[in-house]
Amino acid sequence: MSTTPQATSPTAEPTSGTPSTSNDSGGRPWARIGGIPLVIFAIIFVGVMGAAIAEVIPETFMGGLALALVLGMGLNWIGEQIPVLKDLGFGTILAVLVPAVLIEISVLPTMTREFQDAFFGDLTSFAVPGLLVGSVLAMPKRVLVQAGIRFIIPLLGTLTLTTLATGAVGAVLGYGFVETMLYIAGPILGSGISASAVPLSEIYAGQSGGSPDDYITTMASSVMIANILTILVAAVLGGMARKNPDKPFKGFAGRDGALLRKQSDTPTGLSDDNNIAAKVGDLLTGLLIVAGIVIFGEIGQTLVPSMHAYLWMILICLVLKLGGLLPERLASSTGAWSGFLAKVMVPAILASISMGVINIGELLGLISDPTYLALCVITVLFALVISGALTYLFGFYMVEGTIMTGIGLADMGGTGDVAVLTAAKKMYLLPFLTISSRIGGAANMLWLTGLAIAFLA
């Protein structure tokens, strides 16, 4: 069996949140962050945070990256120093929640939210395609074929059963069967605000004769609450899987990147913990290949607007991989670039999402409606349980299957996919979550449009 090593860093230095065994700073294994001594990182942190608080940080790509990096890397490092909690992805949880809290309590100025809202779009448009392309091209062909064939039915089954089950609970709680599906379960399972809540609000308004503003707040808030829940759940599932993949039962999680239970004795070699160093030439090669595929993906979307550019990228990668059209060395280079992005850029993406997207004040206000909050939580729980059961029946390990389908449907699309996979430390699953977001999201919007026509007209 051939495996493709995925390099995760251009140097042998430890990266963000990774303890070092260096003898620097008295030989303490925790005294480095991002490969530099803790003292130097602290100086950079104070300088960047001071500039942000004083509102003199440049509103450029580098200014946004500096703020997101020091917060993402610093909070991730703190979380990984706490026993027990570090095994549950506490570093990721801190990176997702604390920056938003700092804005809410006015430690960081409100302009930070607008600044990061614009910045994280640029950052993710740069990083996510690289993560996606590298994940597909570096995955062994056998895994790609066998897992892909078994994937679609559990995905659509999870979407359908979760929506109906949540609607039934909504009817029992007095929120309404159809209302729950339209305003809570539907937006949550549609994969994001821009790809789900916004277009659905316009569709609903067109059918009811109202304004999209009448719907967008409720639906966008549902998506945000679900996104936070999926990140927390992914962190816990990933931690449990790493601690003992056979607890609470055999087949709970795979080892060494294994997705299908019958292949448990033949690991795929996929892992987010691979510390193989990458050469600069490998990173450059990977970047060039990714850039070319991104452009062809955008061309594909221009020609067929109904297919998102990310789907075109996956299609191109599948043709290259399954057709054996890309030499293995070049495919490995895309894996090296993907690994570099996962280790270096993802902590910044998490902090930027927190500052630019998550509004703690709005979320706290919604919690005051216990029925609404309960239905958001129930939607995510149903998605997890149903997806775990269906994917297990189709031969997947339960953790991997749950993340690929249930969490992939319930998180916030592209940025949510990156956040949950970082929390679970399973970035190699990104192609499957992208399919969940795009194919599942499209199917979700199609049937919700029919529901709106039937009940809102």
Give the model confidence (pLDDT) of 431-440 as tens digits.
888 888 877 8
In this prediction, residues 380-384 reach a mean pLDDT of: 96
223 in a domain, yes or no? yes
Q: What is the reported pLDDT for 52?
A: 92
| Tally of CB atoms within 10 A around 291 | 14
Q: Which two tokens stand for residue 329?
A: 């060395």
Residue 108 has what DSSP assignment? S
In this prediction, residues 329-342 reach a mean pLDDT of: 84
266 in a domain, yes or no? yes
pLDDT 10s digits, 307-316:
778 778 888 9
Q: What is the DSSP string of 149-170?
A: HHHHHHHHHHHHHHHHHHHHHH
3-state secondary structure of 342: helix
**In 356-375, which positions are buried (b, 16+ CB within 10 angstroms) versus exposed (e)?**
bbbbeeebeebeeeeebbeb
Angle at 149 between CA 306 and CA 406, to 5 degrees: 70
Q: Residues 6 or more apart from 15 whose CB is under 8 A from it?
A: 8, 9, 34, 35, 343, 344
pLDDT 10s digits, 79-95:
878 887 776 667 777 88
Query: Which residue segment(s) compose the domain that 220 sits in?
Result: 133-455
In this prediction, residues 40-47 reach a mean pLDDT of: 94
How many domains is the chain built from?
A: 1
In this prediction, residues 316-339 reach a mean pLDDT of: 87
**In 385-398, which positions are buried (b, 16+ CB within 10 angstroms) versus exposed (e)?**
bbbbbbbbebbbbb
Does this model's pTM top 0.85? My answer is no
In this prediction, residues 133-162 reach a mean pLDDT of: 84
Q: What is the reported pLDDT for 128?
A: 78
111 in a domain, yes or no? no
15 in a domain, yes or no? no
In this prediction, residues 42-57 reach a mean pLDDT of: 93
- CA dihedral of residues 28, 17, 109, 217 (deg, nearest 10): -150
3-state secondary structure of 32: strand
Distances (CA, A) of 3 to 142, 295, 319, 397, 419: 10, 28, 19, 20, 26
Instruction: Evaluate whether 419 touches 100 at the Cβ level (below 8 Å).
Output: no
365 in a domain, yes or no? yes
In this prediction, residues 233-239 reach a mean pLDDT of: 90
Q: What is the reported pLDDT for 273?
A: 52
Flag whether pLDDT at 380 surpasses 80.
Answer: yes
In this prediction, residues 332-341 reach a mean pLDDT of: 84
Range 87-91, long-range pairs (CB < 8 A, 24+ positions): 87/239, 87/242, 87/243, 88/235, 88/236, 88/239, 88/240, 89/234, 89/235, 89/236, 89/238, 89/239, 89/423, 89/424, 89/425, 90/235, 91/17
64 in a domain, yes or no? no
7 in a domain, yes or no? no
Flag whether pLDDT at 408 surpasses 60.
Answer: yes
Angle at 98 between CA 94 and CA 99, to 5 degrees: 125
Flag whether pLDDT at 192 surpasses 80.
Answer: no
CA distance 327 to 322: 12
Q: What is the reported pLDDT for 265?
A: 45
12 in a domain, yes or no? no
Q: What is the reported pLDDT for 278?
A: 60
Q: What is the reported pLDDT for 277?
A: 53
pLDDT 10s digits, 7-29:
433 333 333 444 443 444 444 55
